[in-house]
Structure 1
């Protein structure tokens, strides 16, 4: 009897996943444990392994299809076997019943919705319905691109983007003028946006369109921090888990500042602002295919060395395709860095529903006047983006000033 390849649940908030790429074709033989299809969720991308050995007899979800968790993507069976067929050649009644009710709404999310003068059945993912409600998009005007015409979150985001575009002005009457259309360049390549890139695209668009983002900047004199860090590394035995990097000190400085300025340690969801007493810190990690944000849970309860250990472990797991073992949700504030690329100040984009994200630039040596004397100092640029709906400019500036003060007196971070 054919075995289903099921869309798995890869996170607490996951309701559906997207097919990124089939690694096997219909009719190909597969071994148990062999990767057959690549999928992605809001957070991660991973390859699914064959649950049994056999032939990939059917593919029911194509590339870029959005599939609810628990639903089949394809089937593995014996050569010549059909989906739903029992070993004795009879049909599986369960499969027949599922096929018979496939067109009916599975949940109240897919109930019949009136569309202008006629009624049509809308199949809407819960995530798409929530987004449509937030940005005030009429679902009845959207054509779904998911399985059976299901409206996905990406469809809603695309509809909002079209709505935001200015209407074309009437074509002017211009004589003796021709309009040239550039031909496709022979060296150019086109690729449909999918997988992790598609998820990041949708999330960044939603972040900028649904929040009131403002960025403040500050320069930290990191001269004493660098000296302190070097001494700490000399005193602390260096190993693969703890190296006490500048990022570790920045993380600790942010955690301490969040405990003092709790308004920055909040989530803005719907019409509710939830402020946390504990800090769950997100650390952005860049991958070849995109960006992920592992979360250090209860970071406020951990020492500098423990934070260093978790940051290093999370980075290694993220870059070695162990994303499924990482906690990628539940953060209350995020740190992102472009320092290794020589970037100074920049504008980080919020990771909703968080109300704050700190961007870290590269440290540079610059001359600074101190008490009338020109001295060489190490300067660290910081960029704080915050949601002005939840936090005003003065509290955000006070938080950034505390982070700066913490880093300029690094001994406080180990007390």
Structure 2
């Protein structure tokens, strides 16, 4: 009997999952536990492993299509089995002889051309070869079952292309055309693109900047480093202090810890702090829930734990939901001021730049001071520039008088 492979449920709130890539095609053999497809939901992407050894008999959900969790995305069985899905969802299996006869009939007939708009069928190895050579799949006629493009079809197309280039090598080109590599927008990148576009389209975003003198904060960080290391086996970073200052400031400026939903401003009683983490696949924002209950050392530990889970791909859907305010730090890349984009439906997001040293007058004395640039983007529909600046001023006060964050 053929085995069903279903769309996994990646979180309690998941309503739909999307197949971002098929690693196997119809007719390919698979081992038990071998990754056969990549699926994603929101900002979670995982590999789906084969539940059994056998052959991919049928793919029911193409790449880029979203379906509810539990939906059958493909069937795996023995070579020779043919599987169809009945109206009630039952499996209809046909004898191997029928498949062989159908295959013989196909090879004896003329391979039909693809219709306009029809999805290109291609084996994984042929797809990799075509992408590496930047071939247009629409111009390749497949000779495999059902018009599927095979490895041999791609090789033949490459041979024809090589011959065409030789014929034109003696001709003077009329114009130069830049070669490009086409990268499809899918998975996490596609989700981020959609959310950022929606954020800019549906909110009135304004960014204000402020410079913070963190000379005393850096001195405090160095003075307490050994004690904190010995007692908690932990290092308190500048990001940890900034997160603590933001939490304390949000408690005093509740309008910044809010969301505009259905023309109503929802003021959140608790603070759920989002900390953006940059990965190769895109940006993820794990959430520190009830951050207002955390002491500085607890906040630091949670930030590091969530960042590690993010880099190891172990974040759950719940780990990235429900934030009420977000911090995005590009200081490690040498960026000073930038314009962070709101993480909807939040009212504010704080951009943290790189610390730099500059000469500055303290009274009548010229001293070397460490400056931290901050950029606050807020939704102008919820609050005006003055209250937003007041929030940023409170953050500044905590960072310039760091002892107040420890009291």
Q: TM-score range by the shorter chain?
A: 0.7 to 0.9
Asked if structure 2 preserves the Cα contact closer than 8 Å seen for 1:241 and 1:313, the reply is no
**What is residue 371 of structure 1 aligned with on the other side?**
363
Deviations 1:334-369 (A, max 9, x none): 000100010001100000011100000000001111
1:293 corresponds to which of 264, 285, 310: 285
Pair 1:42–1:379, CA change in 2 (3 A) = same
Offset, 1:238: 6.1
1:72 is aligned to 2:68: no
1:242 corresponds to which of 234, 256, 259: 234
Pair 1:232–1:194, CA change in 2 (3 A) = same
**What is residue 108 of structure 2 aligned with on the other side?**
none
2: CA distance, partners of 1:391 / 1:379: 27
Offset, 1:68: 2.5
For the pair shown, the structure with the greater C-alpha radius of gyration is 2
2: CA distance, partners of 1:413 / 1:30: 57
1: CA distance, partners of 2:376 / 2:256: 11
Deviations 1:389-414 (A, max 9, x none): 11221111111111111111111212
**What is residue 315 of structure 1 aligned with on the other side?**
307
Asked if structure 2 preserves the Cα contact closer than 8 Å seen for 1:241 and 1:309, the reply is no
Q: Which deviates further from its counterpart, 68-77 or 347-356?
A: 68-77
1: CA distance, partners of 2:294 / 2:220: 20
2: CA distance, partners of 1:53 / 1:350: 46
1: CA distance, partners of 2:351 / 2:297: 22
2: CA distance, partners of 1:297 / 1:349: 21
1:261 is aligned to 2:258: no
**What is residue 336 of structure 2 aligned with on the other side?**
344
**What is residue 397 of structure 1 aligned with on the other side?**
389
Deviations 1:202-258 (A, max 9, x none): 111000000000011111100011011112211112699731110001000000111
Q: Which deviates further from its counterpart, 320-329 or 360-369?
A: 320-329
* Aligned-pair Cα RMSD in Å: 2.2
Asked if structure 1 preserves the Cα contact closer than 8 Å seen for 2:212 and 2:372, the reply is yes
Offset, 1:197: 1.1
Deviations 1:303-355 (A, max 9, x none): 11111111111111111121338601110000001000100011000000111
2: CA distance, partners of 1:281 / 1:12: 21
| Number of corresponding residues | 326
TM-score (norm 2): 0.75
**What is residue 407 of structure 1 aligned with on the other side?**
399
Asked if structure 1 preserves the Cα contact closer than 8 Å seen for 2:57 and 2:81, the reply is yes
Unmatched runs of 5 consecutive residues or more in structure 1: 86-90, 98-180
Moved over 4 A (4+): 238-241
Asked if structure 1 preserves the Cα contact closer than 8 Å seen for 2:13 and 2:317, the reply is no
Unmatched runs of 5 consecutive residues or more in structure 2: 93-173
1: CA distance, partners of 2:76 / 2:402: 58
2: CA distance, partners of 1:254 / 1:228: 18
Offset, 1:198: 1.1
1:232 is aligned to 2:227: no
**What is residue 199 of structure 1 aligned with on the other side?**
191
**What is residue 8 of structure 2 aligned with on the other side?**
8
Pair 1:335–1:182, CA change in 2 (3 A) = farther
1:61 is aligned to 2:61: yes
**What is residue 185 of structure 1 aligned with on the other side?**
178
Counterparts of 1:1-400 in structure 2, within 5 Å, are 1-83=1-83, 94-95=89-90, 184-186=177-179, 188-237=180-229, 242-324=234-316, 327-400=319-392
